[in-house]
């Protein structure tokens, strides 16, 4: 069984929230409660590129020993430009990198002794990925809660659940399902004891690892790292603790609010009713001080919540059937570690519902909304329009999240800093829309527990109704429709195929398996697709119907699928003559072999690689995708037996063999030779390659380096 290798930390504090004494029952206030402190002026998650951690994944079967890994980290850190000189001071030493833990898929979490800015991270990651043993390196972002801060407006009822034009008419769905038998994991700031929650809460876990030093974003405040107590310790902060110049803030009790939105007890003559008030709640703490948490912790929290094994952590006896993530950060791609955690949850049958984000921008630019397989939820107002703050575009559907004038009432805590007793509060944001849909997923799963995450998503998409108001930018399939979703799950409607997709399925159905969704259209270039047991068939007028599956599909999806760098598939997957397979797309090729996995080649680098013979040529199969961010705006891609480097002024040129090794010893494109300007040229028994700053020659086992 696959395991996570987690941080070996002793649990100094072992408290089970479900066993805590409940405070006296508290009724909703007649007026809006005192609002929480406002978020930073950006109105959304902190800017990416400021973190003290990176995630490094070594290639399976090629992971170096600890001392060698230390050398890899140290050499990469030396490449970071010295700081201090630009300000007139003495340049400081390179940051120290220390391997502190592991996250999903045995990737390593490496911490610097200080925060790294975007330029430093870009240089560090490029340097790490030059090592052939490194599969990928990426920033370990701090993700933040996505609830828009409270404002002092009045609200008097749960309009979002009522039978109005903008509401969800939950009573008509509750006639058939209340979420009984389902478990909703809330990966958030933790939870506090509350009379409207306690009876539904299961023992959870705390995955906030940062506990040393003073209070800073993502700090656990509980004196230790991972432990079995998911209590929310408060995300309050003093002046400057959430970033330079940041104001003091009270605790948001964000996790308690999202938990109540999803599954506060119903029919108990107390407080509010959650969407799935018959479901159980699994609190999983992954966000600490300032409402922040590291992606490496969040990824493990997601997988553990769904029942995946995590070393040093007891098995979860109550695996979730749906995981809610009301958090986010700006990133144009989903981090590999976060995607791995999500994939593990999906593989165990748990749907993953995420907030689209509160930045009024395309959801493709925010994670986890842009991660593969998730149900991304935009936010609507009491008038049924997309909320002005809500992200839009590539989302799955929408749900009520409110706005300053009409907010979402849910469970909260009376404490300004530490827990002070159960109360209720109004909040608005995609953080409220996401647990609403998580609750609807629980209703659907109660109706038909055999549905896979993909089938649950299809049910929600197929039954969503048009928004009563406008949605500039697009709100996916529309407004979630609980009654229709439950009814469709009850019908157990079978899926059929038609048209070009149906014709291809008729020919290769033994390979694809049975259909697992209806045909869906409206993709880029007026394309369509349909999910099957083992992959999907995509169609466009220019490419025809093609089956995409397995590792090739995973790599293609990572590049953005039909909307991404590669576009639609143009061929079926075929053998490549090198013991692997490849599949051609409109703007590139994905290549797979047992030794290298799947990677895409495209653009000028892909054209040069193809001209050299592709996977049967001297470079072999790609080890990973193209990487940019090199000096001068260059890019490179690593292959089994060398690299191809590209710069606008030099084009795409390969380096390999003895010359390639000598070039690497001279620090490659970062060294005095710069980029290659020609490929190798052989004359008799001599080989010569020219670079911007000179040349490297090879003859009879000897290397000659000439500088201009």
State whether residue 96 is helix, strand or coil. coil
Q: What are phi and psi of 481, to 5 degrees?
A: -130, 90
- Percent of the chain past pLDDT 90, that is, above it, reads 60
Q: Which of 208, 187, 181 is nearest to 294 (CA)?
A: 208
Band of residue 174 on the pLDDT scale cut at 50, 70, 90: confident
DSSP for 636-690 reads EEEETTEEEEEETTTEEEEEEHHHHHHHHHTTGGGSTT-SB-S--EEETTEEEEE
Which H helix or E strand runs over 707? strand 702-707
Distance CA 639, CA 511 (A): 30
Band of residue 604 on the pLDDT scale cut at 50, 70, 90: very high
State whether residue 498 is helix, strand or coil. coil
- pLDDT above 50: residue 627: yes
CATH number given to 3-43+145-234+245-491? 3.40.50.200
Distance CA 222, CA 203 (A): 17
Q: Which of 470, 392, 398 is nearest to 437 (CA)?
A: 398
pLDDT at 79: 83
Q: Return mean pLDDT, the chain.
A: 85
DSSP for 278-300 reads TSEEEEEE---GGGEEEHHHHHH
Averaged pLDDT, 466-493: 86
Q: What are phi and psi of 305, to 5 degrees?
A: -60, -35
Alpha helices (H) along 79-224: 118-129, 170-174
Which H helix or E strand runs over 118? helix 118-129
Burial of 495 (0-12, 13-18, 19+ CB in 10 A): middle
- pLDDT above 50: residue 22: no
Q: What residue has token string 């990925």?
A: 129
Torsion, Cα of 416, 418, 420, 426 (10° steps)? 50
Q: How big, in percent rounded to 5, are the helix, strand and coil portions of the chain?
A: 25, 25, 45
482 neighbors 402 (Cβ within 8 angstroms) = no
Torsion-angle region of 556 (φ positive above 0: left; ψ -120 to 50: alpha; else: beta): alpha
pLDDT at 212: 86
Q: How is residue 386 annotated by DSSP?
A: B
Chain-centre distance for alpha carbon 63: 24
Distance CA 420, CA 131 (A): 51
| Segment among 221-225, 349-353, 494-498, 589-593 with least mean pLDDT | 494-498
Which residues, in sequence order, are bridge partners of residue 42? none
Band of residue 18 on the pLDDT scale cut at 50, 70, 90: very low
Q: Give this prediction's pTM.
A: 0.61
pLDDT at 92: 57
pLDDT at 33: 32
Averaged pLDDT, 243-257: 92
Residues in the chain: 708
- pLDDT above 60: residue 152: no
| Segment among 44-53, 107-116, 329-338 with least mean pLDDT | 44-53
User: And the tokens for 102?
Assistant: 């592991």
Strands (E), 33-91: 51-58
Which H helix or E strand runs over 338? helix 336-347
Averaged pLDDT, 574-597: 91
Q: What are phi and psi of 54, to 5 degrees?
A: -130, 155
Distance CA 265, CA 275 (A): 9
pLDDT at 576: 84
Which has more confidence, 619 or 535?
Answer: 619
For 51-140, CATH number out of 3.10.50.40, 3.30.70.80, 3.40.50.720, 3.20.20.70 equals 3.30.70.80
User: And the tokens for 13?
Assistant: 């504090």
Q: Active-site residue numbers? A: 188, 254, 431
Distance CA 92, CA 353 (A): 44
| Segment among 43-47, 94-98, 135-139 with least mean pLDDT | 43-47
Q: In the chain, what is the greatest distance between 2 CA atoms, to the nearest angstrom? A: 91
- pLDDT above 60: residue 418: yes
Q: What residue has token string 């090729």?
A: 589
Q: Which of 609, 611, 633 is nearest to 623 (CA)?
A: 609
Averaged pLDDT, 182-200: 96
- pLDDT above 60: residue 617: yes
Alpha carbon of 97 to those of 52, 103, 215, 304: distances in Å?
A: 9, 17, 21, 28
| Segment among 239-248, 363-372, 433-442, 603-612 with least mean pLDDT | 239-248
Averaged pLDDT, 405-411: 93
662 neighbors 655 (Cβ within 8 angstroms) = no
Chain-centre distance for alpha carbon 345: 12
Distance CA 71, CA 69 (A): 5
Averaged pLDDT, 613-626: 93
pLDDT at 40: 26
State whether residue 601 is helix, strand or coil. strand
| Segment among 26-30, 62-66, 96-100, 120-124 with least mean pLDDT | 26-30
Q: Where in the chain are the domains?
A: 3-43+145-234+245-491, 51-140, 495-548, 560-642, 649-708
Band of residue 618 on the pLDDT scale cut at 50, 70, 90: very high
- pLDDT above 60: residue 46: no
- pLDDT above 90: residue 511: no
- pLDDT above 90: residue 111: no
- pLDDT above 90: residue 413: yes
- Convert the pLDDT of each residue in 684-693 to its tens digit: 999 999 999 9
Q: How is residue 701 annotated by DSSP?
A: T
Distance CA 97, CA 405 (A): 48
In this structure, the number of other CB atoms found within 10 A of the CB of residue 549 comes to 18
Strands (E), 405-480: 408-413, 422-429
- pLDDT above 70: residue 16: no
- pLDDT above 80: residue 4: no
Q: What residue has token string 């466009």?
A: 540
290 neighbors 413 (Cβ within 8 angstroms) = no
- Convert the pLDDT of each residue in 381-390 to its tens digit: 999 999 999 9
Strands 292-294 vs 142-145: parallel, antiparallel or unpaired? antiparallel
User: And the tokens for 610?
Assistant: 């193809």
56 neighbors 100 (Cβ within 8 angstroms) = no
Chain-centre distance for alpha carbon 466: 28
pLDDT at 93: 67
Q: Which of 253, 257, 214 is nearest to 236 (CA)?
A: 253
pLDDT at 29: 28
- pLDDT above 70: residue 47: no
- Convert the pLDDT of each residue in 537-577 to its tens digit: 999 999 999 999 988 988 888 788 888 889 999 999 999 88
Cis peptide upstream of residue 368 (ω within 30 degrees of 0): yes
């Amino acid at each position: 069984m696959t395991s996570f290798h987690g941080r070996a930390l002793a649990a100094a504090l072992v408290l089970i929230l479900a066993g805590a004494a409940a405070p006296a029952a508290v009724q909703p206030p007649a007026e809006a409660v005192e609002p929480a402190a406002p978020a930073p002026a950006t109105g959304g998650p902190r800017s990416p590129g400021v973190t003290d951690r990176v995630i490094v994944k070594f290639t399976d079967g090629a992971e170096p020993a600890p001392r060698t890994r230390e050398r890899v980290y140290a050499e990469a850190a030396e490449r970071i430009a010295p700081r201090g000189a630009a300000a007139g001071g003495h340049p400081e030493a390179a940051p120290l990198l220390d391997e502190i833990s592991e996250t999903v898929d045995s990737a390593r979490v490496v911490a610097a002794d200080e925060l790294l800015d975007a330029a430093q991270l870009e240089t560090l990651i490029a340097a790490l990925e030059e090592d052939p043993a490194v599969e990928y390196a990426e920033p370990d972002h701090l993700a933040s809660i996505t609830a828009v801060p409270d404002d002092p407006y009045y609200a008097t009822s749960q309009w979002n659940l009522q039978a109005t034009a903008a509401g969800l008419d939950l009573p008509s769905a509750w006639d058939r399902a209340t979420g009984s038998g389902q478990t909703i994991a809330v990966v958030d700031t933790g939870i506090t004891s509350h009379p409207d929650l306690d009876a539904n809460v299961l023992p959870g876990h705390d995955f906030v690892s940062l506990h040393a030093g003073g209070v800073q974003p993502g700090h656990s405040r509980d004196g230790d790292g991972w432990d079995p107590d998911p209590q929310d310790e408060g995300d309050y902060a003093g002046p400057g603790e959430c970033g330079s110049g940041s104001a003091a803030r009270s605790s948001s009790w964000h996790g308690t609010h999202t938990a109540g939105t999803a599954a506060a007890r119903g029919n108990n003559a107390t407080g509010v009713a959650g969407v799935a008030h018959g479901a159980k709640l699994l609190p999983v703490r992954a966000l600490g001080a300032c409402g922040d948490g590291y992606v490496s912790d969040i990824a493990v929290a997601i997988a553990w919540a769904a029942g995946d094994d995590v070393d040093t952590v007891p098995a979860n006896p109550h695996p979730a059937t749906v995981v809610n993530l009301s958090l986010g950060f700006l990133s144009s791609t989903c981090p590999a570690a976060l995607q791995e955690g999500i994939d593990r949850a999906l593989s165990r049958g748990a749907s993953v519902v995420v907030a689209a984000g509160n930045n009024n921008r395309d959801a493709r630019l925010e994670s986890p909304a842009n991660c593969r397989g998730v149900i991304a939820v935009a936010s609507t107002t009491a008038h049924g329009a997309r909320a002005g703050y809500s992200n839009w575009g590539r989302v799955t559907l929408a749900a009520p999240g409110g706005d300053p004038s009409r907010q979402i009432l849910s469970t909260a805590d009376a404490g300004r800093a530490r827990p002070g007793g159960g109360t209720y509060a109004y909040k608005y944001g995609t953080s409220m829309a996401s647990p609403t849909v998580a609750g609807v997923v629980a209703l659907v799963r109660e109706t038909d527990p055999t549905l896979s995450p993909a089938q649950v998503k299809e049910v929600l998409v197929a039954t969503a109704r048009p928004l009563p108001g406008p949605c500039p930018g697009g709100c996916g399939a529309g407004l979630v429709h609980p009654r229709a979703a439950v009814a469709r799950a009850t019908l157990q409607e079978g899926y059929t195929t038609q048209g070009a997709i149906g014709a291809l399925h008729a020919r290769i159905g033994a390979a694809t398996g049975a259909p697992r969704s209806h045909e869906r259209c409206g993709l880029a270039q007026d394309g369509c697709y349909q999910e099957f047991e083992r992959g999907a068939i995509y169609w466009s007028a220019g490419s025809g119907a093609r089956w995409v599956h397995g590792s090739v599909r995973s790599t293609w999806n990572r590049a953005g699928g039909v909307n991404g760098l590669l576009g639609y598939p143009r061929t079926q997957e075929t053998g490549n003559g090198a013991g692997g397979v490849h599949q051609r797309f409109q703007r590139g090729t994905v290549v797979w072999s047992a030794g290298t996995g799947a990677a895409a080649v495209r653009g000028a680098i892909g054209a040069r690689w193809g001209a050299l013979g592709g996977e049967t040529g001297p470079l072999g199969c790609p080890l990973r995708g193209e990487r940019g961010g090199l000096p001068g705006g260059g890019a490179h891609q690593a292959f089994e037996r060398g690299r191809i480097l590209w710069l606008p002024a030099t084009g795409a040129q390969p380096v390999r063999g003895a010359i390639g090794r000598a070039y690497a010893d001279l620090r490659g494109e970062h060294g005095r030779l710069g980029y290659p300007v020609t490929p190798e040229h052989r004359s008799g028994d001599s080989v010569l390659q020219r670079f911007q700053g000179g040349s490297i020659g090879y003859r009879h086992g000897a290397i000659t380096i000439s500088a201009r």
